[in-house]
Amino acid sequence: MSVDAATVRRIAHLARIAVTDAEVPHLQGELNAILAFVEQLSEVDVEGVEPMTSVTPMEMKKRADVVNDGEIAAAVIANAPAREDDFFVVPKVVE
């Protein structure tokens, strides 16, 4: 696939990039090089290769999914301007 000057100007317009006429040939060459590389990647045989998230095999670290109070309830409620037992007291907003 090859990009012409009109396509370069259209891409620049869509990307909201100001491109002078002198810059068009340089950008055209760069875009053609990028597209050639992408075409080269499509030639790679990936049959039987599993997708991976990293080059080193590893499992995602997971924490236990347990319900707890965070063990700092007293410290949290201490920040409340008004409280009743272990609850925040807030003004009534709905009648």
Q: How would DSSP label each residue in the chain?
A: ----HHHHHHHHHHTT----TTTHHHHHHHHHHHHHHHHHHHTS--TTPPP-SSSS--PPP--------TT-HHHHHTT-SSEETTEE-------
| pLDDT attached to residue 2 | 87
Question: Cα torsion for 17, 22, 25, 29, to the nearest 10°?
Answer: -60
Q: Where are the domains of the chain?
A: 5-42
- Chain segment 46-87, per-residue pLDDT in tens: 898 888 877 887 777 888 888 887 788 888 888 888 988 888
pLDDT, residue 35, reads: 94
Express each pLDDT in 12-49 by its tens digit: 999 999 999 999 999 999 999 999 999 998 889 989 88
